[in-house]
Structure 1
């Protein structure tokens, strides 16, 4: 056989084998795809939010200031107590402003912020009552309302948590399931309570002549009754207002979580 005919035969054989080669490659690709489908899917990497932000730092210092205020009240250091209480009030406004302005809201922040507020109010009210500066009946009204709302929050958290309902998932606040919307009277009541507690710490520091001349003791007693009324009113407003507590659907919960994570990423 000549060299030319040999090249022709090889070229012909190569052309004949191309469809068979393509079929083999396609068959292997299909087999590989089937194997990959049977393999367990790996979980997508969890995106952790940045909790080391300035707003969270300010909130944490406010949380630490609460027991310090109580210590100063019980150890007759009214000036230090007033200074720490004022610091807590300022940081309460500043940390929220910074978190919104720089999109640094975090799930941790949504938990420790109200925790710091309640710790400050509870410790201060208890210590002022021990020192007989606040009347006992008023403290029972204020703390009783807070305890009732806390029990309600625990209940709504449990019934709104999507399955599976586990202890770990219950305390995982990156899984939002219910939203509490403060009523208008509740916001007013919070302001009145803060002013009451602030004045209660300020009265012992003021000159006695000023207290007598302005009848500040009588004004303070009237303020106590006013706060008792707004405290009861605000507690009942959550019972009568259907929009005060909203149970989030799965889609709404995921949307809330997504916004928090995006805000943390931008911050």
Structure 2
């Protein structure tokens, strides 16, 4: 606990400022590497090397778990990492969906829905900022389920197309699952933002 007096007296414990000062920490470097994997994955998919793109995508997913674990174990959390991690995740997912739609592996309407949902959330946060409302947008369970479904569908599509496998029933089911959770999470975030706007407007000035 941060208020534990024993921890205050032990000089070996690093100060929070020292943790924040670390720019080139190992977790941050791993996250940056995942961000650099985005153009590589897009290039591979455009050149129809979906087998290698699948390996890159899975490796990027594993790196997401590794950098978070390292940040906790090594007490190497930083503001840069907190910002860079979701940016790398979203950049990878959105790029994969748009590219898979462009090469006719996934439906184009699904890629549009995925991108629109993310733009809606970003636009909502910016609108709250303009209105002077604190944008305390909490992660929702439906959003976490949506992210997991998006990752699973992207990996499945790359696996099937990249290695010449066939599972049309499973792929169609995953497409509709992602569509449903994407739509539901977008609506949930809109309702959350509307509630925050209402609370902000009702506060005494």
Please give the range of the TM-score, normalised by the shorter of the 2 chains. Answer: 0.7 to 0.9
Question: 2:169 corresponds to which residue?
Answer: 218
Does residue 77 in structure 1 map to residue 49 in structure 2?
A: yes
| Aligned partner (choices 116, 123, 130) of residue 151 of structure 1 | 123
Contact 1:79/1:205 (CA < 8 Å) preserved in 2?
Answer: yes
Question: 2:190 corresponds to which residue?
Answer: 239
Q: 2-side partners of 1:232 and 1:108: how far apart?
A: 30
Contact 1:181/1:244 (CA < 8 Å) preserved in 2?
Answer: no
Does residue 123 in structure 1 map to residue 74 in structure 2?
A: no
Aligned Cα root-mean-square deviation (Å): 2.4
Find the residue that maps to 2:76 and give its secondary structure.
coil
- Looking at CA atoms only, which structure, 1 or 2, has the larger radius of gyration? 1
Question: 2:203 corresponds to which residue?
Answer: none
The gaps in structure 2 that reach 5 residues or longer are 1-16, 198-205
Contact 2:124/2:193 (CA < 8 Å) preserved in 1?
Answer: no
Aligned length: 180
Does residue 112 in structure 1 map to residue 112 in structure 2?
A: no
- How far the C-alpha of 1:154 sits from its partner, in A, is 2.0
Question: 2:178 corresponds to which residue?
Answer: 227
Find the residue that maps to 1:219 and give its secondary structure.
helix
Question: 1:180 corresponds to which residue?
Answer: 137
TM-score by length of 2: 0.80
Q: 1-side partners of 2:26 and 2:182: how far apart?
A: 32
TM-score by length of 1: 0.62
Deviations 1:67-91 (A, max 9, x none): 1111100011112101110111001
Question: 2:153 corresponds to which residue?
Answer: 196
Contact 1:129/1:136 (CA < 8 Å) preserved in 2?
Answer: yes
Deviations 1:52-71 (A, max 9, x none): 10000000000000111111
